[in-house]
Amino acid sequence: MSDTMKNSTLLQTTAIDRRTFLGGAAMVGAFGAFGGLLPSRAQAEEPKRGGTLKLGLKGGASTDILDPATYSASVLFVAGRLWGDTLVESDPKTGAALPSLASSWVPSADASVWTFKIRDDVSFHDGSKMTVSDVVATLKRHADEKSQSGALGLLGSIVSVEEKAGDLVVTLTEGNADLPLMLSDYHLIIQPKGGVDAPNAAIGTGPYIMKAFEPGIRGVFEKNPNDWRSDRGFVDAVEITVMNDATARVAALSSGQVHFINNVVPKTVPLLKRAPTVEILRSAGKGFYSFLMHCDTAPFDNNDLRLALKYAINREELLEKVLGGYGTLGNDYPVNSNYALAPEGIEQRVYDPDKAAFHFKKSGLDRPVLLRTSEAAFPGAVDAAILFQESAKKAGIEIDVKREPEDGYWSNVWNVQPFCASYWGGRPTQDSRYSTSYLSTAQWNDTRFKREDFDKMLIQARAELDETKRKELYKVMALMVRDEGGLILPVFNDYIMASTKQIKGFVDDIGNDLSNGYVGSRVWFDA
């Protein structure tokens, strides 16, 4: 995403229980074939079936296409989870890898060669049987340097993807204990023939079949009568309506036009709580609100300017006034305590106008900087930019704020313009977080942070099986991004959603927003 989304973008949340790679491989068969609704409060009730679920979601644009390689915002994130499946899923509570289209996996001793058993009883929506060759073609398409896939950075270490004796065999340039979790990335939906011939067809193995899609307007899905799983897809149909305006979403939920909305603005929570038919859904996570600077573009190619802006933002003020306290402070690197092996002992960066003024003077810049923002970036992004503008003034830094249209923000501004507001959802592991947007070759390197020493450290950490050593490497990497990168990360956000009280079964999922995108196939109607 920006992740989920990127919401990702729109992209993307408690600590991951990372097992050692051999232990995890040995235990994978014990989880069974289904991973979507394992431990959760929702299972205290027996799911009911039927009805049409109506979702009013922020995160859609007229430029959206159905090729999962391009998915970067909430609407397509949820849509992809409805029509497609990945090889692996993650446990909602622990983040551990769980079987999906791959029923089990075994690594070599150095974790550089992985063998996956692929289910042989699954069909695509067009009636064709899913085969190992479809899986091979899918992974090859996303790993192709020309693919522009959002998962390209995750797959850069793949040497070969092959079918051997009916199994999928993935060979890497170096060991990677996290490979199964990486294959849970939402871009890596398995498609017939890998989606090479028809990437936008939205033909998959998921619980719902796409019946209509109007970019930036709506998507309609009907239950897949031949779904290979019985623990999901409880409603008969799902309708997604794109509602990028926060007021419109709240009005639609309050009036019963929709049953569920995302991206609830914190300041509207007290009002929604008073509504007798509405329930607030809150999940802590790994997602964050941020401002991005391109490290290779003037004037942001000057690290003193980048440091000046990092010290010029009042994080506590943003947390309270923009998020309403629904989140935690960030420290200018994209990992928080919800990740396994998260760095410890890094001093929290605080608002310091004097330090900001020092670095700004040292940068030699004598003109304003232009910051682009939009409510498409994250709830309250425009207010956050104005607060940033005001706090920077006290350091003698002038920021010109330009509000951009919401439609097309993720294609025209994010990852294009050198200084803008942004949002990222979570990733399963630190490796996947950094590989997606900090590896020099990553398609979504949205701060243009490109350092050979960082890349080498990332690869070293990826193959390191000693967790103490791996954690230390991740700490050094975090400090590099914090002190020399282009990321201004003031806050990690909680995900705030709302639904009618008719909706049951919502699963808090640490993977990402919107129950890790699975909200449409996990919930049901109480009556």
Encode pLDDT of 194-249 as tens digits. Answer: 999 999 999 999 999 999 999 999 999 999 999 999 999 999 999 999 999 999 99
- Whether residue 89 is predicted with pLDDT greater than 60 in this model: the reply is yes
369-373 and 288-293 strand pairing = unpaired
pLDDT bin (cut points 50, 70, 90) of residue 462 is: confident
H or E segment and range at residue 504: strand 503-504
User: pLDDT for 132-151, tens place per residue?
Assistant: 999 999 999 999 988 889 99
**Domain boundaries 288-493, corresponding CATH code:** 3.10.105.10
Burial 136-146 (b: 16+ CB within 10 A, else e): bbbbbbbbeee
- The model's confidence at residue 356, banded by pLDDT at 50, 70 and 90, is very high
The topology under which CATH files domain 85-195 is Dipeptide-binding Protein; domain 1 (3.90.76)
Q: Per-residue pLDDT for 12 more than 90?
A: no
Please state the φ and ψ torsions of residue 467, each to the nearest 5 degrees.
-70, -30
Highest mean pLDDT among 388-402, 434-448, 506-520: 388-402
Judge whether residue 346 has pLDDT over 60: yes
Residues 42-84+206-284+495-527: name the CATH superfamily: Periplasmic binding protein-like II (3.40.190.10)
Cα separation of 73 and 520, whole Å? 16
Q: Per-residue pLDDT for 117 more than 50?
A: yes
* Amino acid at position 158, single letter: I
Q: What is the structure's pLDDT at 9? A: 33
DSSP letters spanning 137-201: HHHHHHHSTTS--TTGGGSTTEEEEEEETTEEEEEESS--TTHHHHTT-TT----GGGGSS-TTS
Buried-state track 80-96, b at ≥16 Cβ within 10 A, e below 16: bbbbbbbbbbbbbbbbb
The mean per-residue pLDDT over the stretch 103-124 comes to: 96
Rounded CA-CA distance 193/398 in Å is 53
- The band of 284, judged by pLDDT with boundaries at 50, 70 and 90, is confident
Structure tokens that stand for 488 in this block: 């201004």
Residues above pLDDT 70, as percent of the chain: 92
Pairing of strands 260-261, 52-57: parallel
How far apart are the C-alpha atoms of 447 and 484, rounded to whole Å? 11
Residue 39 has a pLDDT of: 37
Concatenating the DSSP letter of every residue in 206-235 gives SSEEEEEEETTTEEEEEE-TT-S-SSS--S
Taking residues 285-307, what's their average pLDDT?
96
Q: Dump pLDDT digits (tens) for 43-60.
A: 457 999 999 999 999 999
Domain with CATH 3.10.105.10 in the chain: 288-493
Domain limits, CATH 3.40.190.10, in the chain: 42-84+206-284+495-527
What's the pLDDT tens digit per position in 422-450? 999 888 889 989 998 999 999 899 999 99
The letter for the amino acid at 32 is: G
Q: Which residues contact 37 (CB under 8 A, 6 or more apart)?
A: 43, 231, 232, 507, 522
pLDDT of amino acid 112: 94
Question: Mean pLDDT throughout 326-354?
Answer: 95
Q: Average pLDDT, whole number, for the chain?
A: 90
**Two structure tokens written together for 5:** 């989304």
Alpha-carbon torsion, ordered 316, 319, 320, 322, to 10 deg? 130
pLDDT at 6: 40
Q: Are strands 158-164 and 97-99 parallel, antiparallel or unpaired?
A: unpaired
Q: Cite the residue boundaries of each domain of the chain with CATH code 3.90.76.10.
A: 85-195
Closest by CA position to 504, among listed 188, 46, 142 = 46
Give residue 44's pLDDT.
56
Q: How far is CA 142 from CA 5, 180, 196, 435, 438, in A?
A: 18, 16, 10, 14, 18
Of the listed ranges 29-43, 69-83, 115-129, 147-161, the least confidently predicted one is 29-43
Helix (H, G, I), strand (E, B) or coil at 48: coil
pTM for this entry = 0.73
Cross-sheet strand order for the sheet of 52-57: 208-214, 218-223, 237-242, 52-57, 260-261, 495-500, 278-283
pLDDT for position 36? 38
252: enclosing H helix or E strand? helix 246-254
- Average confidence (pLDDT) over 274-300: 94
